[in-house]
Amino acid sequence: MRGKKSWGLGAVAAATLLAMPAFAAQQEHIYNEHKEKMGITRDLGVSLTGGLNYYTGDIGRDTGLGTSLGIQADSRPLPLLGVELGYQGSRAPFVNVGDGLWRHNVGALAKVGPELGYNGSLQPFVGAGFGVSVLNPGNAAEFRYSNDFVTEVPLAAGVDYKIGRVRAGARATYSILGGENLGAGQSGNNVNFGLNLGGAF
């Protein structure tokens, strides 16, 4: 009797496990329909970013082309509006002294653009935002340059593309820096050309 009861419980458990994927898919479909009715078209996405980085002005004359890496979280609460929060770290080599200029930035960006293509997969955009950065010359350059804390106003243009839950994109960003006080390099803005790759949840 106990054996039959155990087999029965096992059959119920197996049937439940087999039914769970279909139930989860049905619930996701209902959730997606609800989001569309509410005008919420995207889930939270997280991406890794990388690109080329350089400075204009006095800082640009003292530094060369550098690289950047970062991470960003994004969402699209409205069909035409997206928002991002992120961190970016970059390094531009000094021309006349050793080491390089490190930049650690945290910021927010609002993006505006249409959804094109099948299921809105292609999303060109323009954006603007606000951030703060620490500019830090390496040890070999500290005799000439000082650490600096600056504000930033990023202006961006690019395109995002989605394939299922995979997200990819490319952009150009011109960041207006405020309050530079590096010593020898007194002024300059930051330019970044980057790619991003990640997923949605």
For 50-54, the CB contacts below 8 A with 24+ separation are: 50/194, 50/195, 50/196, 51/192, 51/193, 51/194, 51/195, 52/192, 52/193, 52/194, 53/90, 53/91, 53/92, 53/103, 53/190, 53/191, 53/192, 54/92, 54/190, 54/191
Give the pTM: 0.73
- Residue pLDDT tens, the chain, 201 long: 444 444 454 444 445 445 444 544 454 454 455 455 544 445 689 999 999 999 998 888 888 999 999 999 999 888 889 999 999 999 999 888 778 889 999 999 999 999 888 777 889 999 999 999 988 887 766 666 777 788 899 999 999 998 888 999 999 999 998 866 555 556 789 999 999 999 987
